[in-house]
A and B are shown apart, each in its own frame.
Chain A
């Protein structure tokens, strides 16, 4: 029986190649799309799961409440880890980890900036980074030893055994390779090339020894039987008990949420984060598969008149309805399996391009469940989904009616179902078009926002070696190159500010109120280099010493103080420092490009900062300008390779996710339109074929070409128009909710809907009119003979 079904399915496909090709192409395209998304989704969901201790791993976070608002931070006090390990029997392992940075690693003439972390010895016991060589018990204890990845070992030592070899770090410290670990997998939240003892970091950052300073990340592994809820309860006042001046309330943040559910609001996880994109794209995958299956259903039911006789004969020969349902399901599943093979080929071919688009290294790997289970699963699912309605419909034919000559009337239920499905397809397609336009508009809107500084032509370089110390002379030489307009040093870079404090006071401040203020440390040239403007007061004097106890604040801070022009006011800190406000900087956008800026204070303190900011003169040849800057830096800071980034590149990084969504939305909008049009093309062909005789008669009676094209296209265009009417409010609601996430956002304009609707109508018209024209141009004598 099965053989008979397969045989007839295959011969049907062979006999109706055009139909089969349309069906297969639409289904394969939809499946390929869904498979790519599933690969992406699987990768996202697989993050960090390779750790054997996954269920017991946590990062410690803390909440701090200022002015009634609770903020969540990952920075912890330095002493927390050591104390907690002694005080909490539930903790099996605990490690601190710095924020990760590139350090200069040298071997002979080879100098490479490699990313890595300073961590405690428990790090390798908790996390499953496979140790290839070395004694695990002795690693990360000694400040002169280094653990490197196999990839870094190959980079410096080639095929030689790196164990026991020496590398120079930051040009001042010789470190011996005591361990080699396998490079962390791509789906690891923690990635590095080297690991070194936390003791080094601790020595360099003495301020971390205090409970009141939050500056290091802390990770821990609980014992299997430990109850995390109980640990959280005990943790709540733990830091407060050590230092009553601190507001920090620590809690455990499970590894299962590190990647996908990082969003906190008022000290609680919102459940949001990248998971929203996982859900969003999973929904898109499902919608695309539905669109492709709709094609299949529509084309199958459209051909039902042709297959009716076969159904009748089979029933007369003794086939029950169940047998016929199984037969038609069999056919759709066969088609679906063939399509999935084609889809796999498409995925294999486009995966490199997709990887570039989503910035991942997804592989077409047969051990990946998306491949070995996803492919047959999808074939089965699509086969059942696509075959469901046609099977039930086709198997319902009564042989008597069929032999009498089945004609499906205009008002038959199946015609309405088919129209409904076409409308569904176009609702989704038009929805995608609207989303694409709005997402693009929102990204452009924010990118063109007045930031309060000029991000263009600014090059930033981390301060290495002697650069900070020799900044004055470096600046003079940079200006002397003729390519540099100005240069400054700063802790952040105007676009990003990393530090904040709640201990500022000023005259008239409610003493019970604690407000979080962002802090920035800069050299006096910072404002002019960044082209920031003053609303009141003056800039810092060129001699930083003169303004070491004076500060600038932003307008948001001035508003908080309650005076438009607070120049001359004094800011106090809890450690009895006081600073005079000498100017108010016009608000500038930092950290979150979509929000209003938070209050910020700028100190005139160029020592100990991290960044060199260089503004190039306009219209410079970038390669020549960077070569000139490199020469200056090499002269004053030999032994350090020149590394830099343009500020506008960092700016673009802020929109990485939104841009990815935008790009994918464009791609999927295009694909849904293509798939929907493939279906429409097939239906139009079928309609034209079915109405050949009618068209012949109409032509004989005097119908013109345009009359005929309109006759055949009208119904489809009405469906697309109806789809627009349905898609508009749904998409408006979805996009309205999406935009609500952003404080700085566009309004949804009416013309977006008009454009999307018109676009869909034009695309549908082009698709349908090809078939309509073909039918209209047919010789009526021939078309009448066909019948």
Chain B
């Protein structure tokens, strides 16, 4: 599903040049659950942003479903992203002005799904995430665990092939964290590919494979059994 080769990303300011990804190569197969680990500043989030088509690489190749997407413009990236990729963030990133229902509905609006169908699908996924009873609440009225469940619901409502999770349990206590990890595992078992960035060895154990990064490069791969 994902094949990146010699990927480079360099951040430049007037005075400093920082290499975030240094000729990194990686492959993720369909249905895999991959965890990316490494110390702060090793390039995990940059990698995730590029995989999520939120950012451009400065060099190298990025094949997404065998299509070279490394130099797609923003419009093309947005088009590919909204149909194929779901995101889960550490800080949830729910829109405060929208209710639970409306937050989850948002990706469907952008993909042009009709209103009745949207309602059906949002309710289905809220039900699955067991937060149906909170559908009319605003994010600030929910606990952290509930907010992340909404975020996961939003990530999966469009039935993406790939879910990118950036430290999904980073802001949660262990009990809520485990719940979210279980949700991701269930989704993976149902066929969704997952790439997760994490600092937590515990969470990484839910994955099939752990990629360890340092200074913008992969240094080790652990296959989980």
Does residue A737 face the partner (Cβ distance < 8 Å to B)? no
The complex places the Cα of A319 from the Cα of B91 at a distance, in Å, of 20
A377 → B minimal CB distance (Å): 29
14 interchain pairs, CB-CB under 8 A: A4-B102, A15-B97, A309-B93, A310-B97, A314-B110, A315-B54, A315-B78, A316-B54, A318-B78, A318-B82, A318-B158, A319-B110, A320-B78, A321-B75
Q: Are B93 and A314 in contact (CB under 8 A)?
A: no
Does residue A212 face the partner (Cβ distance < 8 Å to B)? no
B161 → A minimal CB distance (Å): 14
Q: Are B95 and A316 in contact (CB under 8 A)?
A: no
Q: How many contacts A-B (CB < 8 Å)?
A: 67
The complex places the Cα of A15 from the Cα of B97 at a distance, in Å, of 8
Contacts of A310 in B (CB 8 A): 95-97
* 8 Å CB interface, A105-157 against B: none
Determine which of B55, B81, B94 lies in contact with A318 in the assembled complex, contact meaning CB atoms within 8 Å.
Answer: B81
Contacts of A4 in B (CB 8 A): 102, 106, 109
B30-68 to A contact mask, C-beta < 8 Å, 1/0? 000000000000000100010010110000000000000
Q: Are A8 and B54 in contact (CB under 8 A)?
A: no
A326 → B minimal CB distance (Å): 12
Does residue B130 face the partner (Cβ distance < 8 Å to A)? no
| Known pairs A317-B82, A319-B78, A320-B75; A403 contacts B97 (CB<8 A) | no
The complex places the Cα of A7 from the Cα of B158 at a distance, in Å, of 22
Does residue A470 face the partner (Cβ distance < 8 Å to B)? no
Chain A residue with the shortest CB-CB distance to B158: A318
Q: Are A316 and B110 in contact (CB under 8 A)?
A: no
* 8 Å CB interface, A1-18 against B: 1, 4, 7-8, 11-12, 15
Chain A residue with the shortest CB-CB distance to B164: A316
A1 → B minimal CB distance (Å): 6
Determine which of A321, A323, A398 lies in contact with B110 in the assembled complex, contact meaning CB atoms within 8 Å.
Answer: A323
Determine which of A12, A316, A321 lies in contact with B87 in the assembled complex, contact meaning CB atoms within 8 Å.
Answer: A316
| Known pairs A4-B102, A312-B93, A399-B54; A318 contacts B49 (CB<8 A) | no
| Known pairs A318-B82, A321-B74; A8 contacts B52 (CB<8 A) | no
Contacts of A312 in B (CB 8 A): 93
A693 → B minimal CB distance (Å): 19
The complex places the Cα of A12 from the Cα of B83 at a distance, in Å, of 28
Q: Are A316 and B81 in contact (CB under 8 A)?
A: yes
What is the number of residues of chain A that contact chain B, defined by CB distance less than 8 Å? 25
The complex places the Cα of A15 from the Cα of B154 at a distance, in Å, of 23
Does residue B4 face the partner (Cβ distance < 8 Å to A)? no
Chain B residue with the shortest CB-CB distance to A320: B78
The complex places the Cα of A314 from the Cα of B74 at a distance, in Å, of 14
* 8 Å CB interface, B98-155 against A: 98, 102, 106-107, 109-111, 154
| Known pairs A318-B81, A319-B110; A313 contacts B95 (CB<8 A) | yes
Which of A316, A400, A404 is most buried by chain B, counting CB atoms within 10 A of its CB?
A: A316
A279-311 to B contact mask, C-beta < 8 Å, 1/0? 000000000000000000000000000000110
Determine which of B55, B96, B154 lies in contact with A317 in the assembled complex, contact meaning CB atoms within 8 Å.
Answer: B154
Interface positions of B (Cβ within 8 A of A): 45, 49, 52, 54-55, 74-75, 78-79, 81-83, 87, 89, 91, 93-98, 102, 106-107, 109-111, 154, 158
Chain A residue with the shortest CB-CB distance to B107: A317
Q: Are A318 and B97 in contact (CB under 8 A)?
A: no
Contacts of B52 in A (CB 8 A): 316
B61 → A minimal CB distance (Å): 20
The complex places the Cα of A314 from the Cα of B94 at a distance, in Å, of 10
B152 → A minimal CB distance (Å): 14
The complex places the Cα of A753 from the Cα of B177 at a distance, in Å, of 67
Chain B residue with the shortest CB-CB distance to A314: B106
Contacts of B79 in A (CB 8 A): 318, 320
Contacts of A323 in B (CB 8 A): 110
Known interface pairs A318-B83, A321-B74; 18 further A-B residue pairs with C-beta atoms within 8 A, sorted by A's residue number: A4-B102, A7-B102, A310-B95, A310-B96, A312-B93, A314-B95, A315-B54, A315-B78, A316-B54, A316-B81, A316-B93, A317-B82, A318-B79, A318-B158, A320-B74, A320-B75, A403-B89, A403-B93
Q: Are B97 and A8 in contact (CB under 8 A)?
A: yes
| Known pairs A8-B97, A318-B78; A400 contacts B110 (CB<8 A) | no
Q: Are B98 and A8 in contact (CB under 8 A)?
A: yes
The complex places the Cα of A554 from the Cα of B97 at a distance, in Å, of 80
* 8 Å CB interface, A357-390 against B: none
The complex places the Cα of A60 from the Cα of B41 at a distance, in Å, of 87
The complex places the Cα of A309 from the Cα of B91 at a distance, in Å, of 11
Which of B81, B109, B111 is most buried by chain A, counting CB atoms within 10 A of its CB?
A: B109
Chain B residue with the shortest CB-CB distance to A404: B45
B182 → A minimal CB distance (Å): 24
Q: Are A400 and B55 in contact (CB under 8 A)?
A: yes
The complex places the Cα of A272 from the Cα of B176 at a distance, in Å, of 78
Chain A residue with the shortest CB-CB distance to B98: A8
Chain B residue with the shortest CB-CB distance to A13: B97
* 8 Å CB interface, A158-217 against B: none
Q: Are A8 and B95 in contact (CB under 8 A)?
A: yes
The complex places the Cα of A398 from the Cα of B55 at a distance, in Å, of 8
Which of B54, B96, B154 is most buried by chain A, counting CB atoms within 10 A of its CB?
A: B54
Chain B residue with the shortest CB-CB distance to A319: B110
The complex places the Cα of A313 from the Cα of B89 at a distance, in Å, of 10
B124 → A minimal CB distance (Å): 18
Contacts of B78 in A (CB 8 A): 315, 318-320
Chain B residue with the shortest CB-CB distance to A323: B110
B75 → A minimal CB distance (Å): 6
Contacts of B158 in A (CB 8 A): 318
Chain B residue with the shortest CB-CB distance to A1: B109
Chain A residue with the shortest CB-CB distance to B95: A310
The complex places the Cα of A309 from the Cα of B107 at a distance, in Å, of 16
Contacts of A7 in B (CB 8 A): 97-98, 102
Contacts of B154 in A (CB 8 A): 317
The complex places the Cα of A312 from the Cα of B49 at a distance, in Å, of 12
Determine which of A314, A321, A400 lies in contact with B49 in the assembled complex, contact meaning CB atoms within 8 Å.
Answer: A400
Determine which of A8, A313, A318, A398 lies in contact with B93 in the assembled complex, contact meaning CB atoms within 8 Å.
Answer: A313
B79 → A minimal CB distance (Å): 8
Contacts of A404 in B (CB 8 A): 45
B196 → A minimal CB distance (Å): 16
The complex places the Cα of A211 from the Cα of B83 at a distance, in Å, of 91
The complex places the Cα of A400 from the Cα of B20 at a distance, in Å, of 14
* 8 Å CB interface, A484-521 against B: none
Q: Are A11 and B81 in contact (CB under 8 A)?
A: no
Contacts of A15 in B (CB 8 A): 96-97
The complex places the Cα of A288 from the Cα of B138 at a distance, in Å, of 39
Chain A residue with the shortest CB-CB distance to B83: A318
Which of A4, A399, A403 is most buried by chain B, counting CB atoms within 10 A of its CB?
A: A403
Contacts of A12 in B (CB 8 A): 97
Which of A12, A312, A319 is most buried by chain B, counting CB atoms within 10 A of its CB?
A: A319
Contacts of A320 in B (CB 8 A): 74-75, 78-79
Contacts of B91 in A (CB 8 A): 403
A303 → B minimal CB distance (Å): 13
Contacts of B89 in A (CB 8 A): 403
Contacts of B93 in A (CB 8 A): 309, 312-313, 316, 403
The complex places the Cα of A404 from the Cα of B96 at a distance, in Å, of 18
A591 → B minimal CB distance (Å): 67
A568-601 to B contact mask, C-beta < 8 Å, 1/0? 0000000000000000000000000000000000
B163 → A minimal CB distance (Å): 12
The complex places the Cα of A313 from the Cα of B106 at a distance, in Å, of 10
